[in-house]
Amino acid sequence: MQKSVFYGALAAAVVIGGAVGAATLDDVKARGNLNCGVSTGLVGFAAPDASGNWEGFDVAVCRAVAAAVLGDPQAVEFIPTTGKTRFTALASGEVDMLARNTTWTFSRDTDLKLDFIGVNYYDGQGFMVPKALGVTSAKDLDGATVCIQTGTTTELNLADFFRVNNISYEPVPIETNAEAQQQYLAEACDVYTTDASGLAATRAAFESPGDHVILPEIISKEPLGPVVRHGDNEWGDIVRWTLNALISAEELGITSANVSELAGGTNNPEINRLLGSEGTLGDMIGLDSEWAQRAIMSEGNYGEIFEKNIGENTPVGLARGLNAQYTEGGLIYSPPFR
Amino acid sequence: MSDASFVRTEMLSEQDPPPTSVGVIGWLRANLFSNWWNAILTVLCLAAIWYVLSGLLGWTLRSVWNAGSLNECRDVMIANWGSTHGHACWGVINDRWLQLLFGFYPPELYYRPILAMLLLFAALAPVLFADKVPPKLLYVTAAYPFLMPWLMWGGSIWTPIGVAAGFVVAYLVGRKLGGTASGLVLGILSAVVWWMLWFGLPGQAETFDSGVGRVLVAGLGENLASISPDTAPFWLETVESRKFGGFMLSVLIGVVAIGCSLPLGILLALGRQSNMLIVKAICVGFIEFIRGVPLITLLFVASTLLNIFLPPGTNFDIILRVMIMVTLFAAAYMAEVIRGGLAGLPTGQYEGADSLGLNYWQAQRLIIMPQALKISIPGIVSTFIGIFKDTTLVSIIALLDPLGLSNSIRADTDWNGIYWELFAFIALMFFIACFGMSRYSMYLERKLKTEND
Amino acid sequence: MATMTDPPRESFRLSMLIYDTRYRSLTIQVIALFAFMLLVAWIISNTVQNLASLGKEVEFGFFSEPASYDINQRLLEYTSRDTHLRASFIGLLNTLVVAVLGCITATIIGVLVGVARLSRNWLIARIMTVYVEMFRNVPVLLWIVFAMAILIESLPSPRAFRGEDAPQSLILNDSVAITNRGVYVPEALFSRSLGDVRLFGESSLRLDVSLDLIAIIAVLAASIFVFRRIRAWAERVQNETGNRPTTWYFQIAVLVVPSVILLTALGFHLGKPELKGFNFAGGTHLRNSLIALWIALSLYTAAFIAEIVRGGILAISKGQTEAAGSLGLRPNRIMSLVILPQALRVIIPPLISNYLNLTKNSSLAIAVGYLDITGTLGGITLNQTGRELECILLLMLIYLFISLSISVGMNIYNKRVALVER
């Protein structure tokens, strides 16, 4: 038994494996599916449904990459990771990319040998308090008990914020969002702090969301984006430009509905270059010419993905805000496809 | 002799016992109200039971079964009882119970884990209920370690057959050379050579591209060039281990860990008892190290360090890594259980074996181990219960066991905010499984005791 | 046979290494050692290669960098500007706190339950059986999460204490507040304190030792010493003269008076918790995470201890109970004077392993956000610095050290209580 499992493991290692540092693109193609690291469950961003299909804002990025590279948005293996295991999973080659609410920071980008290939969601850490407390600013929170999720940058931001403003607080570290929600609702903490998107999603699940306010202060910058291993620039390019293709598609008015029609050729050269009816952009990143077309077809353009998973018509109910296109006052901006 | 003035010649007729000492009242008096102190305790206990049950039963029974999301549940609760408090929303279990049991295993293949589970019982029956089932079932036991991975992971039947054949080769070689240490070593070596021949050398082990397995299969009339899911006989669709989840994952980790740790544990226990200083030191060091650290740190090793310890480029998937670490963990505990079994044998058995002129391995195989293992079975079952419960820890390293899945389920917008129902279900499932096993273990202990007395 | 001469002197042949039992064990050991060293070398060389390709190297410099996170439940002072080493040290103390508290309560509950399971009261015996089976057969991680959730959901929040006609009030003469954020108990304060003495300078292991505490301990120790001397003197007098001098009032005075004088001199008073702002202020705050972990670990381990105690008691032959009964002892005296002392011999070894289990299970503190050593060194520090190898290996070593210390300590105790077989 022992031997057989070891042998099975060995065989599996060969099937799954792929040496770290080798060309990820070749591995992915040889394997026929993309290994994508996601969070174990974050409302609106990544969660499995009853039949085991993963859905969410981060998940859509994985599907778009799979569609661009392999031609099949379903050819993705989702590998749940925690805050602790995510970087090791990436570094060891267990996953090809991370699409998990991971904040782009200096030390992660450099010291941990990761490459952040862009930002798919601009977030910031905020505070939620019950309306009944009558608090209007985070600076009124002297002495408050604050629920924070551990293993993220939030606890560092929190410590810094209270230190800078010279007010005291009592941190209550919490492992998962569900427990934070429970503690907050039972008033075991006065304040819940996490990324503003998370706060909105959490509040949406309350029985009476109107009784809680999200304070105006956003105390940190949390640019969340997909991550790849440092050193494999070809693969990094593919993921980066897949994301950019989704963003440009929204800017250019390409949607999952009209993408096949537009792919036939338009009089806008940028659309033509993006969708492959003109130029050889696909070749330059080692893919065919219709890569972007497939990526957009899989889950729609950036705006569609946003609206479908976390937009105002979903239970999460996030406004575009910073994540609107730069043309509409947001920060979402793709370099040109040229 | 004096003359007795009165001798009773017939017995008095039996009288009924006083009504306060028989029947319900008598039982109550004897067992619940034997003195005022007991009476107070009884009343307090009754009050506590009432308090707990009234809350719990109301919550459990006055509940919503058919709902697709928490909000639907709340609507139904408001409509029926006017409040959402004190009512369970079992809709989540209704919606997700298959996921909690099987994880992401493809639904059309559910028969495979179920079959593996049933076969497990069949395989264990001759060991656990030796006197009640036909001994022929032992063949199932022998085949199970090879069948189970095939059923769970899928692939070609030739893989388990090749692996099993390696053990047969090892056995035959070992037997030819007599049960000596060199026989053991050579047996293992020949098995390794066999596997290399069958599966091809490591590094080019594309399962069927090389090796004798290929030739043999060719001899069976298979078209070699196209051994593929469509043509290979008994090909089961492969399922990657990351699709495993829920209770299936817990059971699988537990079974694999116990199964694999048994041979390891035997070796460690023998090593610990050996009088060879270095061997003993290594075994003791290993056992004490594993028993001295919490399982969670070993799981951290599995999730973050194991890849660093292995040659560059190897990359097991996380579930296999966890299985390896849990196996090592279980092996240390197993070694202690078996050591207890060895210590429980009378010295006469060892001396008897020596006097028959058996060498060490023969004595172990024919005399010591069969008895030591038999008296270790209750301990092995408790180790299994412990490991099975400890598998919940894998949720901390992002494996989707029931507890980990409960987190993912709550991340679905439909069920965001649900809490107790999932935990209650998981706790109940664990309780049923562990309670059953511990009852069995107690039954066995009683049986062994009466047999020995 | 009788004509056996000296055996011919054998020359050493290589095959004797395997076939001669005198040398075989040596051969096997050398091979085992060689294989073991090979394995270790293999792992190390793999690690070196892998780390090199990841661009990391093993170094512990990160320990002297600021940790930047806060720890709420702590024994020593700590701020987010302290180093990772300090944070790990605080975490280690937290582990020890919950382990020690858990072992004590688990033993108490376990012994009570174990005895109660043998109670003649049918209901109590049944309830205890249900308790034991429930806790033994459900994973401890679930119990920890349950305990936390129950504390949070069932206890009042500090807001319930607010206002004129608050629904909740402090208990025990307004000194203890039980809330769903934890329990606030009064702390000892000294208005004329002697101050603290700082050990280990400004290093990460610095330790502020209160001189008040030292003074109190010293006075108490002296009192107890005098107390015992008086008792010894009384005994001697009794042995010599047959009359025992009346000393009890003197003994009590020796025990109480110096301590009271010292406390008054130091200006001892209790700092009671008061509702201030969002929370209670003052007093000592035992966080919910600590209490939940403590309760869950105690109850879980107690269920196992109860079984051990029951087994130990049942192992004492019934004759002992009957003999004690015939001496006229009452049932509870039989238990405490005759049965338990004998049962201890059977109980202690498995008890040790349960203490070890409890200590190891305390690493699940991470599930309720109690920052023990796993939560600091193996959690946030690991996460922030990305030094998996260093953090996890160190973590394992620390646990190993704690476990081995417990086994050694308890084994020594075990040897002392073990009865000499007659």
Give the single-character DSSP code of A112: T
Task: Using the predicted structure, report yes or no on whether residue B225 has a pLDDT greater than 50.
Answer: no
In a domain, B281, yes or no: yes
Strand bridging mode A144-149 / A169-174? parallel
Tens-place pLDDT, residues B410-423:
888 888 878 888 99
Q: Give the pLDDT mean for B388-394.
A: 92
Tens-place pLDDT, residues B307-333:
888 887 777 778 888 999 999 999 999
In a domain, C141, yes or no: no
Tens-place pLDDT, residues C149-168:
889 888 888 888 877 777 77
Task: Using the predicted structure, report yes or no on whether residue B216 has a pLDDT greater than 90.
Answer: no
What H or E segment, with its residue span, contains residue C275? strand C274-276
Position C254 scores a pLDDT of 86
Domain with C220, as residue range(s), is: 187-271
Domain edge (last residue) among C271, C302, C331: C271
**Best of C70, C90, C184 to disrupt the A interface by mutation (most A CBs within 10 Å)?**
C70
Asked which of A96-100, B82-86, B427-431, C259-263 is least confident by mean pLDDT, the reply is: B82-86
In a domain, C50, yes or no: yes
In a domain, B142, yes or no: no
Query: Among all residues of chain C, which has the CA nearest to that of B428?
Result: C138
The model's confidence at residue B107, banded by pLDDT at 50, 70 and 90, is: confident
Q: Report chain B residues whose CB lies below 8 A from the CB of C389.
A: 305, 308
Burial category of C200 from C-beta neighbours within 10 Å (exposed 0-12, middle 13-18, buried 19 and up): exposed
In a domain, B118, yes or no: no
Query: Looking at this protein, which amino acid is placed at residue A48?
Result: P
Cβ contact, residue pair B411, A43, below 8 Å? yes
In a domain, B385, yes or no: yes
Judged by a CB distance cut-off of 8 A, whether residue B376 touches chain A is: no
Rounded to whole angstroms, how far apart are CA atoms C172 and C185? 10
Domain edge (last residue) among B235, B270, B293: B235
pTM of the predicted protein model? 0.87
Cα dihedral A109, A114, A117, A121, rounded to 10, equals -70
Same domain for C211 and C325, yes or no, is no
Same domain for B257 and B351, yes or no, is yes
Query: Among all residues of chain B, which has the CA nearest to that of A84?
Result: B397
Same domain for C90 and C41, yes or no, is no
Domain with B211, as residue range(s), is: 155-235
Cβ contact, residue pair C366, B278, below 8 Å? no
Same domain for C243 and C312, yes or no, is no
Domain edge (last residue) among B235, B270, B285: B235
In a domain, C314, yes or no: yes
Query: Tokens 């696909």 belong to which residue?
Result: A282
Same domain for B222 and B246, yes or no, is no
Q: Report chain C residues whose CB lies below 8 A from the CB of B303.
A: none
Number of domain units in chain C = 3
Same domain for B434 and B295, yes or no, is yes
**Best of C390, C396, C404, C406 to disrupt the B interface by mutation (most B CBs within 10 Å)?**
C396
Task: Using the predicted structure, report yes or no on whether residue C410 has a pLDDT greater than 80.
Answer: no
Q: Which residues contact C323 (CB under 8 A, 6 or more apart)?
A: C338
C-alpha gyration radius of chain A: 21
Mean pLDDT for chain C overall:
86
Cβ contact, residue pair A4, B163, below 8 Å? yes
Query: Looking at this protein, which amino acid is placed at residue B120?
Result: L
Domain edge (last residue) among C35, C54, C73: C54
In a domain, C333, yes or no: yes
Q: Which of A143, A220, A137 is nearest to A189 (CA)?
A: A143
Q: In tens digits, what is the pLDDT along chain A, a chain of 338 residues?
A: 344 444 444 444 444 443 444 588 888 888 888 999 998 888 888 888 888 889 899 999 999 999 999 999 999 989 888 877 888 888 888 899 999 888 898 888 888 788 999 999 999 999 999 998 888 888 888 888 999 887 677 888 898 899 899 998 888 888 778 788 888 988 888 999 988 888 888 887 787 888 999 998 898 888 999 999 888 889 999 999 999 999 999 999 999 899 888 888 888 888 999 998 888 888 888 888 889 999 999 889 999 999 999 888 888 888 888 899 999 988 999 999 88
Q: Report chain B residues whose CB lies below 8 A from the CB of C24.
A: 181
In a domain, B360, yes or no: yes
Rounded to whole angstroms, how far apart are CA atoms A287 and A274? 13
Burial category of B304 from C-beta neighbours within 10 Å (exposed 0-12, middle 13-18, buried 19 and up): buried
Same domain for B214 and B297, yes or no, is no
Domain edge (last residue) among B8, B36, B61: B61
The model's confidence at residue C210, banded by pLDDT at 50, 70 and 90, is: confident
- Of all residues in chain B, what percent carry a pLDDT higher than 90? 22
Q: Which range in B235-244, B364-373, C354-363 is most confidently predicted, on average pLDDT?
A: C354-363
What the block records as the tokens of B263 is 């041979």
Same domain for B85 and B183, yes or no, is no
Phi, psi of C195 (to 5 degrees): 90, 180
Cβ contact, residue pair A207, B205, below 8 Å? no
Number of domain units in chain B = 3
In a domain, B6, yes or no: no
Q: Which of A172, A195, A181 is nearest to A126 (CA)?
A: A195
Query: In chain C, what are the helix, strand and coil shares in percent, each to the nearest 5?
Result: 65, 10, 25
In a domain, B122, yes or no: no
Q: Which residues in C have their CB inside 8 Å of a CB on A?
A: 53-56, 68-72, 80-81, 145, 148-149, 152-153, 157-159, 180-181, 276-279, 281, 287-289, 366-369, 371, 375, 379-380, 382-384, 386, 388
Position B434 scores a pLDDT of 93
Q: Considering only the top CATH level, what class is A14-122+224-328?
A: alpha beta
Same domain for C420 and C309, yes or no, is yes
In a domain, C173, yes or no: no
Position B453 scores a pLDDT of 54
Same domain for C302 and C391, yes or no, is yes
Same domain for B380 and B293, yes or no, is yes
Q: Which residues in A have their CB inside 8 Å of a CB on C?
A: 20-21, 83-84, 87-88, 91, 107-108, 111-113, 133, 141-145, 150-152, 155-156, 158-160, 163, 169-175, 179, 182-183, 186-190, 230
Same domain for B231 and B277, yes or no, is no
CATH of the domain at B263: 1.10.3720.10
Q: Which of C353, C17, C397, C31 is nearest to B282 (CA)?
A: C31
Question: Sign of the C-alpha dihedral, residues B72, B76, B78, B84?
Answer: negative
Q: Give the pLDDT mean for C10-14.
A: 69
Rounded to whole angstroms, how far apart are CA atoms C253 and C235? 19
Query: Looking at this protein, which amino acid is placed at residue B177?
Result: L
What's the CATH fold of domain A125-220? D-Maltodextrin-Binding Protein; domain 2 (3.40.190)
In a domain, C49, yes or no: yes
- Of all residues in chain C, what percent carry a pLDDT higher than 70? 94
Q: Report DSSP letters for B192-204, one per residue.
A: HHHHHHHH--TTS
Same domain for C298 and C378, yes or no, is yes
Position A227 scores a pLDDT of 93
CATH of the domain at C293: 1.10.3720.10
In a domain, B332, yes or no: yes
Rounded to whole angstroms, how far apart are CA atoms C286 and C180? 11
Same domain for B49 and B73, yes or no, is no
What the block records as the tokens of C50 is 């892998």
Q: Give the pLDDT mean for B250-267.
A: 91
Domain with CATH 3.40.190.10 in chain A: 14-122+224-328, 125-220
Same domain for B282 and B167, yes or no, is no
Q: Which residues contact B304 (CB under 8 A, 6 or more apart)?
A: A84, A85, A88, C388, C392
**Best of B44, B324, B431 to disrupt the C interface by mutation (most C CBs within 10 Å)?**
B431
